[in-house]
Structure 1
Amino acid sequence: MDEMGSASGGPRVGTPLYQLKAEFFKTLGHPVRIRVLELLSEREHAVAEMLPEVGVEPASLSQQLAVLRRANLVVTRREGSHVYYRLTHPQTVELLRVARGILSGVLEGQAEILADLRAARPGG
């Protein structure tokens, strides 16, 4: 999904861009979806390959893949009885990298605060 798309796959005329962005981030707001996108950042995967990596039941993975398909974040191809998924937009890899960097910075800041608290004298 691009900045003008919606979770249902199509643009909605007149919807503010900030709202579309919020819907986009809601689509990303599930751990299984993030893990799937991380796996697909490496290479195309068959559904069976992803199952042990995401640690959910096949029905749950299928449901999350459907959300990503509707949002146009992944596309499929069939080869025999296997369905393969890949990222629709290469920029998704960059988005995940930036998110990791932001999260690392936040956690480093929290670790510094925790260290300061532990080093502080009682009542000080």
Structure 2
Amino acid sequence: MAEPIDRDFDGSAEVLRAVAHPVRLQILCAIKDEPHSVSEIEEATGIAQPGLSQQLAILRKASLVITRRDGKKIYYRVDRDQMLGASDLLDALAGTAFDAHRERPSGRPASSGSAATFARILSRN
């Protein structure tokens, strides 16, 4: 009999829900390479301020973006560790191999992170 699989189903579902929305995907694509202020994101995407703020809040709650305040402006960028975690989960579900100990852009291995960090599927054979 196979041993249980180590997963954070709630955290994984929250991240998948956050990513599975066309407006949020558009935002993530706009901020994937470098941080942008809300006004810059609004200009790049054409998403009006009230809706943009709501979508950014959902991305923050799912820990998919990192924020930095500079005076009155808040800059957003994609949290690449979280995105790699999402990739790890999808790779595992697809049955493709991944290295659970590969180094993240932050320099941390995949096995470290907060409770919100995307679940890694680890079979214990």
TM-score band, normalised by shorter chain: 0.5 to 0.7
Cα distance change, pair 90–46 in 1 and its aligned pair in 2 (3 A)? same
- The answer to whether the 8 Å contact 1:37/1:87 transfers is yes
Please name the residue that 2:23 is paired with: 32
Match for 2:16: what amino acid? F
Partners in 1 of 2:10 and 2:57 — Cα distance? 22
Give the secondary structure class of the aligned counterpart of 1:56.
Answer: coil
Please name the residue that 1:88 is paired with: 79
User: Which consecutive unaligned segments of at least 5 residues does structure 2 have?
Assistant: 1-6, 91-125
Q: Deviation of residue 33 (structure 1)?
A: 0.8
* Selected match of 2:63 from 62, 68, 72: 72
* Selected match of 2:51 from 51, 54, 60: 60
Q: Deviation of residue 46 (structure 1)?
A: 0.8
Q: Percent identity?
A: 37
Cα distance change, pair 93–17 in 1 and its aligned pair in 2 (3 A)? closer
Match for 2:33: what amino acid? E
Cα distance change, pair 78–64 in 1 and its aligned pair in 2 (3 A)? same
Matches within 5 A, 1:1-124: 17=8, 20-90=11-81, 92=83
Q: Deviation of residue 57 (structure 1)?
A: 1.3
Instruction: Please tell me whether Structure 1 or Structure 2 has the larger radius of gyration of its CA atoms.
Output: 1
RMSD (Å), alpha carbons: 2.8
Give the structure, 1 or 2, with the largest relative contact order (CA under 8 Å, sep 6 or more). 2
Q: Deviation of residue 24 (structure 1)?
A: 2.2
Aligned residue pairs: how many? 83
Q: Deviation of residue 22 (structure 1)?
A: 3.5
- The answer to whether the 8 Å contact 2:14/2:62 transfers is no
Q: With the length of structure 1 as denominator, give the TM-score of the two structures.
A: 0.55
Q: With the length of structure 2 as denominator, give the TM-score of the two structures.
A: 0.54
